[in-house]
A and B are shown apart, each in its own frame.
Chain A
Amino acid sequence: MIKKECIIVGGGPAGLCAASMALAAGCEVLLVERSAKLGGQLIKQTHKFFGSKNQYAKWRGFDIAEKLISEIIDHPKLTVLLNTTVVGLYKDQVITVLCGQDYTRYQGDALLVATGASEKFLAFENNDLPGVYGAGAIQTLMNIYGVLPGKNVVMVGSGNIGLIVSYQLIQAGAFVSTIVEAAPIIGGYKVHASKLVRLGTKILTSTTIKKAIGKDHIESVEIISLDENFKEIADSSRIIACDALCVSVGLSPMHHLLSMIGAQTKYIPELGGFVPLIDNRFQTSLPAIFAVGDCVGIEEASAAMMEGFLGGLYLSEFLDKKHPDHNQLIEKYEKELFLLRDGPFGKKTKDGLRKMEDAKQHVE
């Protein structure tokens, strides 16, 4: 077993920012990332970030990743393991990692989980046919590997991710004929939706997917209208040809490693599903184990970064390596996080966090 002062699982924006603070505080950091590149979801985001007042608005996702990585990558106290998945977590901060065919164990004095989220799936007939892909998967294929998985795409879900990925598909040369949305209104920003409509995409609200059709791979889909109670309207189904169906119905936090060792979790729909309970220092119910970013509640990259900075600072404090500017930095990032959540889209998160507070009192 190899000992390390502090272990960070996941090299997305949350993990990278946590690492930068822990390194600045003087900790030795082992950063473990499953894929071949650091940056998490950011590296496939070609659009300019919207909304928030923080310093990265108007930057493209992959440029933000580039900056975060370049700020830490040459640090002498940082070790990065790429293509390495953490497959086991134990209570004494021991992890088992898998790289190729080799398993190795590491133990940290403290550990921070920043594993992000996984895409939700939808139940419908033949949903396992090749050609039914998650929105993130399509984004990964086209924006990282330069491969277009379909030319004539139907999208399920009109949230911001569904709209953005549709637009990116068009930029990459595909046609997005239809976006179906079960709710009576479009979920994402209107500007994105109008842009798509101008490019020839139909957005059908109160409509859902009934089944995928095809022998070895998808060839068309059957869609159906829904009434105000989300019940299917008889005789309203129709068939649309496509060679890929993109499912964009939300993300759920990847709490699984933490659940493995019995960290307390709770189902909080506003945060995306089951989430580990954390205190105001991002510490889970297990001593020496912290969690930040989408794995404790689905938000945005900007929030994941602020949580990462804060988590890194608290982790260093826990290891008796308080950052020289600890108090000022905590105040700064707490304030930014507060401002981010103050907008209309932050309400859901705030409601979720309130539920987490209630749950913690219940547990104690």
Chain B
Amino acid sequence: MRIKNHPILTFTQEAEIAFTFEGKSVKGIKGDTIASALSALGIMTLGHSIKRNRPRGFYCAIGNCASCSMVVNGVPNVRTCITLLEENMDVWRQMDKGVYK
């Protein structure tokens, strides 16, 4: 959910950025990280754990914990909480250790 009214901060209307999540077309806004865009869309699960296949979301949002790792444009283990969203990014949940091509 995007914050609309805030007593201290003003969030100006930013341009939309189109990208794909799990193959579907979705939108974030300029200035978003991949994780903040997904969170605004209500998407909480960013991947699954390797051994027990448990769902994972972000935890620290500042690049410390790797809980938000996803596959972005074919590259695995991207910390999506500190990676800025770009037009046409192809974002997938990461379900394994990640394979580098």
Contact = CB atoms under 8 A, between A and B. Distances in A.
Interface string B35-61: 010011000111001000011111111
Interface stretch (A67-75, A132-140, A184-192, A346-354): A132-140
B64 interface: yes
Contact of B36 (A46, A128, A141, A216): A141
A336 B101 CA distance: 54
B2 to A, nearest CB: 6
Contact of B44 (A36, A60, A130, A172): A130
Given A128-B49, A133-B59, A140-B61, A46 B31 contact: no
Nearest to B79: A85
Given A130-B46, A141-B36, A147-B39, A172 B59 contact: no
B55 A137 contact: no
A140 B39 contact: no
A136 B60 contact: yes
A131 B7 CA distance: 25
A217 interface: yes
Given A101-B75, A137-B58, A149-B39, A36 B45 contact: no
B3 A216 contact: no
B9 interface: yes
- The secondary-structure label for the interface of chain A is loop
Contacts of B60: 118-119, 134, 136-137
Contacts of A133: 57-59, 61
B37 to A, nearest CB: 8
Contacts of B8: 46, 60, 171
Nearest to A117: B64
13 contacts: A35-B62, A46-B8, A83-B82, A133-B57, A134-B61, A136-B62, A138-B61, A143-B9, A145-B32, A146-B3, A149-B39, A173-B5, A216-B55
Contacts of A131: 44, 57
Interface string B71-101: 0000100000110100000000000000000
Given A85-B63, A147-B2, A173-B5, A217 B36 contact: no
- The secondary-structure label for the interface of chain B is loop
B1 interface: yes
Contacts of A355: none
A329 interface: no
Interface centre among B2, B8, B45, B46 (most CB of A within 10 A): B8
B68 to A, nearest CB: 9
Given A130-B45, A171-B6, A148 B62 contact: no
A142 interface: yes
Contacts of A101: 75
A360 interface: no
A217 B3 contact: no
A141 B75 CA distance: 24
